């Protein structure tokens, strides 16, 4: 008996020395399992880890997150299926996954809609609560808005004109109706693939052009397989972290507000960091020999004109005319920003 007590004591001493004192890693009462394609070490994952630590501290260890990075749980469509089957509780999604939950959210990603970040912030101030309500109606609680950033074309051959775009073997995120509409408007026949298959497709020549934010292109290493990027962004890619409504309601009522407050504060910080990192990523990609392709003013007007035709085509399908009008105006009454971003 004395020997057994000695073994227990030694185990506790070792655990304490290594920072694993008994109870420090105890499983919380409510552990929400979230998945993302963002790789470990990325800003997304650093934010998620920080949120988990802060939430555990704020709730006395009763609420926490288990996070699966790097697409280990599959791409966004697979993750959504796993959420609906109860294997996961939520995750970090781009507009593609969010659009499956609530199609109206794709209004934020219409081609050539936003000229700059200020316009994006104004739009969220205006319609953010409506978009959050759409997610809730789709069965998900918003933890926080994030964003992927402005999206550029990255390609093996220069893409500065509509004629050049038509010739490209363009990747299409499989199951993305908005991107499909964009390509159709420009007369492009794309190659549908899951995000996880893009690198292999670039290596084999199945595709020779992709669309992505600079940060995503850098993180996913796609920039190593292209030679050019088009300097005019074609759209803005949104994002958010959401959790199944029923799973969120397992959190004790007294902790829900603090969990959401922590998440929204951290994700707003992430948005600002992501914007800076996208600018830095574009510089880094250029340093690695990927050349900038300029688009003429005349060609840009033509691109924008075709892009606006997509706005009209998807009106009444993905979103209402009223929502599109509100996003375009961006002049809603002040005061909604605290709930939107």
Q: Is the pLDDT at 249 greater than 80, yes or no? A: yes
- Specify the pLDDT at position 7: 37
User: What DSSP assignment string belongs to 101-139?
Assistant: H-GGGGGGG-TT--SSHHHHHHHHHHHHHHHHHHHHHTT
Question: 3-state secondary structure string, 220-241?
Answer: CCHHHHCCEEECCCCEEEEEEE
118-155 pLDDT tens trace = 999 999 999 999 999 999 999 999 999 999 999 999 99
pTM for the model stands at 0.86
Q: What is the largest CA-CA distance in the chain?
A: 87
> What percent of the chain stands above pLDDT 90?
83
Q: What is the mean pLDDT of residues 33-42?
A: 90
**151 in Cβ contact with 236 (< 8 Å):** yes
Q: Are strands 209-212 and 140-155 parallel, antiparallel or unpaired?
A: antiparallel
Could you give the C-alpha distances from 320 to 103, 112, 131, 183, 323, in angstroms and in order? 10, 19, 12, 22, 5
Q: Is the pLDDT at 271 greater than 50, yes or no? A: yes
Q: In 3-state terms, what secondary structure has residue 140?
A: strand
Domain annotation for the chain: domains and CATH numbers: 26-323 (3.40.190.170)
In angstroms, rounded to a whole number, what is the distance separating the alpha carbons of residues 111 and 308?
7
Q: Where is pLDDT greater, at 260 or 7?
A: 260
- Specify the pLDDT at position 17: 29
Q: What is the mean pLDDT of residues 78-84?
A: 97
**145 in Cβ contact with 269 (< 8 Å):** no
């Amino acid at each position: 008996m004395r020997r057994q007590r000695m073994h227990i004591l030694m185990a506790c001493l070792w655990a304490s020395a290594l920072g694993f004192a008994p109870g420090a890693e105890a499983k919380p009462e409510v552990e929400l399992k979230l998945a993302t394609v963002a790789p470990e070490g990325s800003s997304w994952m650093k934010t998620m880890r920080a949120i988990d630590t802060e939430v555990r501290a704020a709730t006395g260890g009763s609420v926490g997150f288990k996070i699966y990075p790097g697409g280990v749980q599959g791409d966004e469509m697979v993750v959504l299926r796993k959420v609906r089957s109860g294997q996961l509780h939520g995750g970090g999604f781009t507009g593609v996954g969010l659009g499956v939950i609530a199609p109206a959210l794709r209004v934020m990603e219409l081609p050539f809609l936003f000229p700059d970040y200020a316009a994006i912030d104004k739009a969220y101030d205006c319609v953010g609560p409506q978009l959050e309500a759409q997610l809730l109606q789709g069965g998900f609680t918003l933890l926080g808005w994030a964003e992927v950033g402005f999206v550029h074309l990255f390609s093996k051959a220069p893409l500065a004109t509509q004629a050049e775009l038509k010739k490209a073997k363009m990747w299409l995120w499989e199951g993305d109706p908005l991107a499909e509409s964009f390509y159709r408007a420009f007369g492009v026949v794309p190659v549908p693939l899951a995000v996880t298959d893009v690198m292999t497709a670039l290596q084999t020549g199945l595709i020779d052009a992709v669309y992505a934010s600079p940060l995503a292109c850098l993180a996913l290493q796609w920039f190593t397989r292209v030679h050019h990027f088009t300097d005019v962004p074609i759209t803005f890619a949104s994002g958010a972290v959401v959790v199944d409504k029923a799973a969120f309601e397992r959190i004790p009522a007294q902790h829900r507000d603090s969990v959401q407050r922590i998440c929204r504060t951290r994700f707003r910080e992430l948005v600002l960091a992501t914007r800076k990192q996208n600018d830095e990523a574009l510089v880094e990609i250029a340093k690695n020999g990927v050349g900038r392709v300029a688009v003429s003013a005349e060609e840009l007007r033509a691109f924008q004109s075709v892009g606006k035709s997509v706005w009209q085509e998807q009106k009444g399908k993905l979103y209402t005319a009223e929502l599109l009008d509100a996003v375009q105006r961006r002049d809603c009454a002040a005061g909604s920003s605290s709930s939107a971003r």
